[in-house]
Structure 1
Amino acid sequence: MAALVHSGHCSTVRSIIALDVDYFYCQVELRKRPNIDRNHPVAAFQRNLVVTCNYPARAAGVKKLMLVKDARDVCPGLILLDASDLQDYRVACSEIICLLKDMLGGAAVENLGLDEFFIDVTEIVCRRKEYYSCTTSFKGYCWPSKDCDSYNLLENEELRNFVVASHLCLEIREAIKSKLQLTCSGGISNSKLLSKLAAGLHKPDEQTIILPHLVESYLNNLDLRKLPGIGSVTYQSLVDHFCVSTCEQLRFVPVERLVEAFGKRTGIRLYHICRGIDEESVRDTSLVKSISCEERFAKTECWSEILRYLRIVVERLLDRLVEHARVSSGRYGRLLVVTYLKTLSTKRESISCNVPFDVIRLCSLCNSLKSSSSECFEKFSNLYRSTLKQLENRCIQLLRIRLGSDFSLCLVSVGVKNFVTLKEVDQTSHPNSIISLIQRSEAKSTFSSVVGQTSSREPMKCCICNAFLNMEMSNEDINRHIDKCLCMESHDKSMNKNVLDGFIKSKKPKVSLTSSQCSIGT
């Protein structure tokens, strides 16, 4: 049975939209090269393998994971585009999420990989039902297409909900196409499972509905290999043990036997999905808990090489933080983590400290603009460059303290963790906290460096040198003080190693600072 969703305005079957960006890597590369005809066979490759190709190339015989050499033999006129820079695809994914959030407000958006999205539009459908009260037709395909005209859409509330969802799905797809130059295939149904299956029925650049009362007939002859979560090993086990290959055949297998053969979790899931039962909710994955970038390389004992890789990683990280700020309102990370892998070790080690304030400031300003990355960079280019340098220096200092002069590394990673929303932080603890500063600064479109009232709380100590800090020091002054402490060659490095590990994770009570200071702790 379909799950009912109750709200203040209506009680209805869930309406979930699945979006699948058509030949994603290829489209992202093509929009950077508008002079290439999209009707010409084009493939995107990484190393020596085709990762995806457009439909003219597929018609010519090019397939995913085909060797580039074989793809050229199959289609001599094939245009090959290098898809090795993953940053371009992360940016495109962030742009889609940002657009969906702008269009749909608080609707949950779940990102699967880089090119698939689930959206729970149940509440939006309830609100828009009156707007489409006279609409009597679905947008796109409805499985099976021949039955669409026989439905009495005005009298059946459940069907009217899916009519509205089909119009909404079309609006979303057209917006992504016009604003981001990316085409998507869409699926609409009452669960993530069915909407994902529906999205694959008519590709590319089309959408399909599977109505709840037609689920069983749709699944009857569906090959089990097409169900999400059933791989080649599970499928072969079903064939070998139970002689089944379709959903209809699988329904005759008792749940006890499935649990016995595959375990409780997988057995119960198999029992449910062959009946079209999927109660899993859409999780809002745009609210990430951490963002990190890493670089692997051949072993090196040279600082100049480490610094070169570190600069690459830090720049990628800052770009991703800015993209995340545009998507998720008011969220920022508080913990900077530098991770490395020694050549002869199998275990990664890390060192952490507070995120420089300029990173939070840049992300907050970019979020307030709701602009593209290029516009953000153009408007805040000076702040971006200074923030990049500050972040780079902080990472270098942390590594120098931990590694000293004797090291051999093969990996370096930089990440930001402990993401929080401004609303999640208790603002009543002190009127001049960093949170209050950011909020006031966003309203003024600038960040004041003026110190407000002095905290009456106990003064704070530097976590490196244990010196008491002036409560009227600005956040920039605190960062400079810490930078100097980190760079002091005469300081006991073994003590730094232990102190810095607990820099943010300290269990000591938090200290609320003045308006231009930040809390060094979580």
Structure 2
Amino acid sequence: MSICTIIEHVRLQIPSDVPLAVQQWQGLIAVNYAARKAGIQRHCTAREALAACPDLKLVHVATYANGEKEPKYHPNPSYATHKVSLDPYRRASASIFKIFQRFCNIVERASVDEAYMDVTDIVNSKLLGMFSNLDENSEAPDVEWANLGTIYENSEASYVPTDSHIDNNDKWCDWQLAVAAKLCAEIRDSIHRELGYTCSAGIAHNKTLAKLCSVLNKPNGQTVMRSSQTLGFMYSMPFQKIRNLGGKLGNFIEDVLQVETAGELWKFSVDELQAKFGRVTGAWLFGICRGIDSEEVVHRNVAKSMMAAKSFRPPVKNLQQIQHWATILGTELYTRVIDDFELNQRWPKNLVIHYRCISQSAPRSKSCPFPRRGELFSPDTISTKISALFKNSPYAFPCVRLAASATGLGKDNSVGMIDISQFVAIRRDAGEDTAINSDHKMNMHAHETASTEKRQKNSPESSLMKGQVTLDQVLQQNCNQTPQESESKIEDTRLSESYDKFGLSPGDIRRFFTNATASTDSSGPDIVPSDLSVTKSTNEMSSCDKCNKMIPQDQWIEHKDFHFALQLQREDDSGRKLVLTTNDGSKKKRKIDISNYFKSRTG
């Protein structure tokens, strides 16, 4: 049974034995089993279906009308004014897949109502726990198949080729299937208990067999395909029912080989099949008709893109009509993008429109960047872009089809980003207490002291004192700087001191606010770090006439002493006698060791 009919049974609280079909305009897109028994098939018209089964319950799919932000079940939707929406079925499918993922982490989405699940690792882990006392040479005990679903058994003897690669006596393979069948029953029970939906399943050792046997016990059952029964099952199977053989390739094989069943293909060797259909296709065909399939289940449970489309009968001939449908398409696409983001945290990269005019056999397309998440506040944003893209498109009228798609779905970069408000806070009012608590002051003082000692240790004066550089090298380094460079270095030093004082690293965003000053604009609050009290600096700068550096007033005396020490060193190196004025005013003649001077200054 299609997921559409199952959902409508649950939504309308209609018993499953009541004939029901889902209608889209005048055609049927889904028919339940009760209606099929009455001879109703998909794609017949609603009038034909009612003629065949007067008790048939017809449910039209939800549609968008102009201006609606959600699809609704309108009693009499019009093709000329409404747009079909399958969103209710997509949302139900997403709920089912969430349950799948609770039980298994390898789920391949085949369609809105079909999926493949690889439970090999889960099953093997359970088997190791069940038979931990056995070794690899132990014979597997017999499997109890009761309450595990329908176990497929051949009803008649079938031709089994002698070159079969299938081991019919492998009991451990049967144990894998038995554990998988129990797990499958738990999944189906969870879906029915939580959502009210029924589903069928096939349990086998590969995707092809699981798909083929899943239809044997519908609408609400599961079938287990044992390895020993595979060849008998495949022998009479119409080969065009096999995955990937239902289209052009299947028709081509039937015409070339004049066969209808998989068993009829067994008479051709692998070399013969490769000669007719190529090396890869021939080898694959040789195995697949015997139930051998090595294709892995690939984890894929979300769509890579999403599209909203509308065909026009009669064709649309003016931009005003296009804008009407752009509004509806934009609304549907907006809803699906938001739903996908809430479920999978993905966001599209591109918005693409596809359009076809009556004189064209193939559609044309135009694209633009999809609105960023912070820019998308309503469906109107998408609708406006759709209209703009179409307006700038050549050869667009008369238009027979228009579609809008969101492509490049990927992880949204803004997910997990930290809001800047976490780093800053509103400045407190003047009347509030802005003092930092005493413990924090003590920590800041200790940190400032350690930082000062570190700067003194790495200063040019300290290096000079230790003999790592000469005095002339220090002087040359300082005097070669321009006033602008000197001022810049001083400012960098002050910023570094601010980082040290408040325990900030240069990469910390709070550093941008450490020198914030009070705003003179009373219209808005200042933004400062929540744990810092910031005041305006009043330390003026003065230019040194010896090195042209800009020196803060509170460092001026120390800077003059530094130049005096340089002068002493130069005079000492030239052999001249020095006159040093001591504290008592007396004059003494002696040679001065510059290192002793700094030791006395810093001791």
User: TM range, normalised to the smaller chain?
Assistant: 0.5 to 0.7
Structure-to-structure mapping, 1:141-156, within 5 angstroms: 141-144=150-153, 156=171
Question: In structure 2, what is the Cα distance between the partners aligned to 1:398 and 1:52?
Answer: 35
> 1:413 maps to which residue?
403
> 1:74 maps to which residue?
52
Matched position secondary structure for 2:17: coil
Task: Tell me, yes or no, if the aligned pair for 1:355 and 1:416 is still in contact at 8 Å.
Answer: no
Following superposition, the deviation at residue 347 of structure 1 comes to 4.3
Say yes or no: does 1:115 pair with 2:110: no
Cα pair distance change 1:51/1:131, threshold 3 Å: farther
Cα pair distance change 1:268/1:132, threshold 3 Å: same
Deviations 1:269-313 (A, max 9, x none): 321111111111122332433222222334445443222211111
Deviations 1:477-510 (A, max 9, x none): xxxxxxxxxxxxxxxxxxxxxxxxxxxxxxxxxx
Question: In structure 1, what is the Cα distance between the partners aligned to 2:119 and 2:334?
Answer: 32
Task: Tell me, yes or no, if the aligned pair for 2:109 and 2:302 is still in contact at 8 Å.
Answer: no
State the AA in 2 paired with 1:96: I
State the AA in 2 paired with 1:140: G
Matched position secondary structure for 1:279: coil
Cα pair distance change 1:398/1:252, threshold 3 Å: closer
Structure 2: runs of 5 or more not aligned: 62-83, 133-142, 156-169, 426-507, 513-603
Task: Tell me, yes or no, if the aligned pair for 2:357 and 2:397 is still in contact at 8 Å.
Answer: yes
Say yes or no: does 1:389 pair with 2:348: no
> 1:25 maps to which residue?
4
Structure-to-structure mapping, 1:333-344, within 5 angstroms: 333-342=348-357, 344=359
State the AA in 1 paired with 2:402: V
> 1:489 maps to which residue?
none
Task: Tell me, yes or no, if the aligned pair for 2:330 and 2:380 is still in contact at 8 Å.
Answer: no
Task: Tell me, yes or no, if the aligned pair for 1:109 and 1:119 is still in contact at 8 Å.
Answer: yes
RMSD: 3.8
Matched position secondary structure for 1:184: coil
Following superposition, the deviation at residue 398 of structure 1 comes to 4.8
Structure-to-structure mapping, 1:138-287, within 5 angstroms: 139-144=148-153, 156-231=171-246, 242=257, 244-287=259-302
Matched position secondary structure for 2:323: helix
Following superposition, the deviation at residue 33 of structure 1 comes to 1.1
Task: Tell me, yes or no, if the aligned pair for 1:141 and 1:208 is still in contact at 8 Å.
Answer: yes
Following superposition, the deviation at residue 141 of structure 1 comes to 1.4
Following superposition, the deviation at residue 407 of structure 1 comes to 6.7
Following superposition, the deviation at residue 255 of structure 1 comes to 2.5
Task: Tell me, yes or no, if the aligned pair for 1:338 and 1:352 is still in contact at 8 Å.
Answer: no
Task: Tell me, yes or no, if the aligned pair for 2:213 and 2:223 is still in contact at 8 Å.
Answer: yes
Question: In structure 2, what is the Cα distance between the partners aligned to 1:359 and 1:210?
Answer: 52
Matched position secondary structure for 1:309: helix
From 323, 347, 368, the equivalent of 1:352 is: 368
TM-score (norm: length of structure 2) = 0.55
Cα pair distance change 1:77/1:347, threshold 3 Å: closer
> 1:467 maps to which residue?
none
Structure-to-structure mapping, 1:307-322, within 5 angstroms: 307-322=323-338
> 1:100 maps to which residue?
100
State the AA in 2 paired with 1:229: N
Say yes or no: does 1:438 pair with 2:447: no
State the AA in 2 paired with 1:43: A
Cα pair distance change 1:65/1:262, threshold 3 Å: farther
Cα pair distance change 1:237/1:286, threshold 3 Å: closer
Question: In structure 1, what is the Cα distance between the partners aligned to 2:287 and 2:306?
Answer: 35
> 1:89 maps to which residue?
89
Following superposition, the deviation at residue 137 of structure 1 comes to 4.0
My pick for the range that moved more, 133-142 or 52-61, is 133-142
From 304, 326, 329, the equivalent of 1:289 is: 304
Matched position secondary structure for 1:280: coil
Cα pair distance change 1:234/1:357, threshold 3 Å: closer
Say yes or no: does 1:64 pair with 2:42: yes
Structure 1: runs of 5 or more not aligned: 1-21, 147-154, 361-385, 423-434, 457-522
> 2:339 maps to which residue?
323
Following superposition, the deviation at residue 253 of structure 1 comes to 0.9
Cα pair distance change 1:253/1:178, threshold 3 Å: same
Following superposition, the deviation at residue 94 of structure 1 comes to 2.5
Cα pair distance change 1:195/1:27, threshold 3 Å: same
State the AA in 2 paired with 1:86: L
Q: Relative contact order: is structure 1 or structure 2 higher (C-alpha 8 Å, sep ≥ 6)?
A: 1
Following superposition, the deviation at residue 319 of structure 1 comes to 2.0
TM-score (norm: length of structure 1) = 0.63
Give the number of aligned pairs: 381
> 2:488 maps to which residue?
none
Cα pair distance change 1:132/1:204, threshold 3 Å: farther
State the AA in 1 paired with 2:337: L
Following superposition, the deviation at residue 252 of structure 1 comes to 1.6
Cα pair distance change 1:29/1:353, threshold 3 Å: same
Question: In structure 2, what is the Cα distance between the partners aligned to 1:339 and 1:231?
Answer: 28
State the AA in 2 paired with 1:176: I
Question: In structure 1, what is the Cα distance between the partners aligned to 2:403 and 2:266?
Answer: 48
Matched position secondary structure for 1:251: helix
Task: Tell me, yes or no, if the aligned pair for 1:356 and 1:390 is still in contact at 8 Å.
Answer: no
